[in-house]
Amino acid sequence: MEYEEQRAQLVGSLKYYGISNKVLNAMRKVPRHLFVPEVYRDSSYADTPLSIGYAQTISAPHMVAIMCNLLELEKGLKVLEIGTGSGYNAAVMAELVGSEGRIYSVERLEPLVKFARSNLEEAGYGNVEVILADGTLGYPQEAPYDRICVTASAPGTPGALLDQLKAGGLMVIPEGHIYQNLYLIKKKADDSILKKKWGGVTFVPLVGDNGFNFGSKP
Ligand code: SAH
């Protein structure tokens, strides 16, 4: 089966998670096989995470769909992603915010910054900027953001990310070490925070100054 047909089949199966048509249509457009290392290309349209090297993974398609759905992404929004990895989630978000919007994506491992940049270029996503930095500090240069998407699991919500979220903005973030939960956070107009648990998930750890510290620097 051709990649396009496999992709259509995979995206069709995601509707059972209650994902909006808007998100499903965006995922129908993004060629996930361009974000997967060549050796795993034939598994690109299985609903599973895959290794991208350096002990990191590209998230399973259903997880990307769930996060994008919770974020209620719209055309023209400015989004901060922490944990670029392959660049795939950034590409799906880029489809959703369109050419009027922009994605700033922070990654701490240099080889993955290069991998993501070349994947995004090949797939034609010019509205994503990939930054090499510790994302637990956010990316103050372009703050505040309409949306923040954290794709690695944190010990708690980094204060810098809350500070850089606009009033009325939404953030999704997995928290926990062995047992993790995904949270949807809303910053209300008066800057107070609403935090809602979505459910159990499995992500690689968020490592950094306001994240887990396993005693190693890249
Ligand atoms: N969103 C990615 C999947 C990311 S896996 C995709 O679509 O492919 C999580 C990523 O978070 C890994 O690449 C890891 O290196 C990165 N990461 C972990 N801690 C980080 C930090 N403090 N700042 C930025 N990136 C971090």
CA of 150 to the centre of ligand 1 (A): 8
The stretch 158-170 carries a mean pLDDT of 98
Between CA 72 and CA 67 the distance in angstroms is 9
What's at 155, amino acid-wise? Answer: P
Domain 2-201 fold: Rossmann fold (3.40.50)
User: Looking at the predicted structure, is the pLDDT value of residue 215 above 80?
Assistant: no
* Per-residue confidence band for 214, with pLDDT thresholds at 50, 70 and 90: confident
How many Cβ atoms are within 10 Å of 167's Cβ, its own excluded?
A: 12
Residue of 57, 64, 139, 204 with the most ligand 1 atoms within 8 Å of its CB, for mutation: 204
User: Tokens for 88?
Assistant: 């795939």
Task: Report domain extents, the chain.
Answer: 2-201
Share of the chain above pLDDT 70, in %: 98
Beta strand pairing call for 180-187 and 165-175: antiparallel
Position 112 scores a pLDDT of 98
Share of the chain above pLDDT 90, in %: 96
> Which residue is closest in CA terms to ligand 1's atom 24?
107
Residue 12 gets which letter from DSSP? H
78-124 per-position pLDDT tens digit: 999 999 999 999 999 999 999 999 999 999 999 999 999 999 999 99
Which member of 59, 86, 105, 153 is catalytic? 59
